[in-house]
Structure formats: structure tokens, C-alpha cells
Amino acid sequence: MSRDDLQLELPLKLPSPPRPRPEGTVRRRCSGCGRTMEVPRWYGEEMRLFFCSPECRKAWMGAEREPPRVALESRTEYRGGDWEVQAERARRRDRYTCRICGATEEELGRKLDVHHILPFSWFRDPRQANKLGNLISVCPSCHRKLEAETKTRVPLFSPS
């Protein structure tokens, strides 16, 4: 069999043609000196820093700047569209009292946490995870203990 007899069919995937660049210009402020200037629209939509000249860019790069301030806030995890309603129902059902130690929201000066008895991540549908039978109201201290207990008892959550 000769080399010419072999026909290899390789899938050839051509890249899609590039999108045309938007026409026109937009006004942007120089990151170095603050002067406004016009730049092509495609450039203005893609870039975050703009410089009116190479000198401005060099000055900006060499400047001593105060590092940006970052405020870290706790981020509530997504628990489904009905989470807030179900959490409130669980607190009301539990008479706004921690089911473990008996602390009340009034004593704590804040809302109680609502804990998933079976971890939220075990469910495909948040509505199933957020059923009242799977939720209990707990104070932050008891909640930490329950979370730690879950991590040690459930293999998927144990530290590696």
C-alpha cells in the first residue's frame, strides 16, 4: 500500500471570522494626567487604562501610588430563590430561638442563623434543600459547632 493510497480525513476546524471592530470613537480620560481624549471605539471598549502619550504612560508606571483599599465583606452564598422566605419561616417556626442552646434573637441582638441539616450541596434542587424539615434555627456559636461536626462526620467534607 503506497502512501497515496492512504487518505486521512482529519477534522479541520477553521476559526470563526473575526468580528468587525465597532466604528467611531469614544472619549476617555488619560490615566496619567486626567486629560480627556478620543480613542477608537473598539479600543475604548476593551481597555481599562488610557494614556495620551508615552510620557504619561511612563510617568504613571513609575509613580508611587497608595495601594487600593479592599473592603472584605462576608458574601452570602446562593441558597436558591426561596432561601430568604424559608429561612424566615424556620426562625418563626422555632420561635426565634436557637434549637440547641435556647438563645433568642432578642438576646443575641441579631437574626439567628438557619442551618441545613443535610448539606445544601447534596441537593440538585435548592427547593428540596430548603424544605422546612431540613432547616433549623441556631445561634452563630452552635452553627459553627454544627458545621465543624458535619465536616468531621461526612467524608466529602473532611479535611484532606
Range of the domain at 89: 83-157
- 150: in domain: yes
Residues 94 and 136 in one domain: yes
- The answer on 87 and 126 residing in a single domain is yes
pLDDT band at 151 (very low <50, low <70, confident <90, very high): confident
C-alpha cell at 135: 432547616
Q: Is residue 66 part of a domain?
A: no
Q: How many domains does the chain have?
A: 2
- Same domain, yes or no: 45 and 93: no
Identify whether residues 49 and 94 lie together within a single domain.
no
C-alpha cell of residue 147 = 458545621
- H-helix or E-strand spanning residue 84: helix 83-93
133-144 residues labelled b (16+ CB within 10 A) or e (exposed): ebbbbbbeebbe
- What is residue 131's predicted lDDT score, i.e. its pLDDT? 93
For range 49-72, the mean pLDDT: 77
